[in-house]
Amino acid sequence: MPVKNETSTRFMDEIRIISPWAFFFAILPYVAAIAAIVYATLSGKPPMPLPAMVAMGILGGTFLACYILLIGYVNSDAGRRGMSRLAWTLLAILIPNALGIVLYFVLRKPRIATCPQCSAPLEPGFGFCPACRYRLNPVCPKCQRAVHAGNKFCPYCGGDLGAAATEVLAPRI
């Protein structure tokens, strides 16, 4: 039995947050393109050759499907980042030329982090969890400034970090 590779890419993780309703609505442009091609061929003389109509239907359907999926992504991602889902979805839909979607990607907030111990929401730059006092970043035992995990010496005071920066941080109570 072959072993399936279970590693996930970041792109696939981002695709998974899109709501199923967005995928449903993304299929509709293709259905409309098929209906238009069938109507044009059955109504008499088509306006262009059949292969050109099929190519235009596929190209137009793909463009509209991508636009709808981007709107679905904006809706889900705004909620994940603590922003107004309704406001950003409406802006993405109503501002023409996909400018609303571009604005969203330029102005969106960073993702909300959570405490690894108690899952409380954390703001960027916190050194400790405000709910359980879990130390989020290693600090120098001498000067109490934040250091990177794996550093052997403090870049601020030169103190020996030893295992302080490399150890798994336990909650301080």
Rounded to two decimals, what is the model's pTM?
0.68
- Averages of pLDDT over runs of 10 residues in the chain (173 residues) are 59 90 94 89 82 90 95 94 93 94 92 85 81 84 81 86 54 43
| Six-digit token string for 5 | 């590779």
pLDDT of residue 136: 81
Backbone angles phi, psi at 27, to 5 degrees: -75, -25
Structure tokens at 7: 């590693």
- Could you give the C-alpha distances from 53 to 17, 29, 46, 122, 155, in angstroms and in order? 34, 14, 9, 53, 65
Are residues 98 and 70 in contact, defined by beta-carbon separation less than 8 angstroms?
yes
Locate the domains of the chain by residue range: 10-110, 112-173
pLDDT value for 173: 41
Residue 20 dihedral angles phi and psi, to the nearest 5°: -60, -30
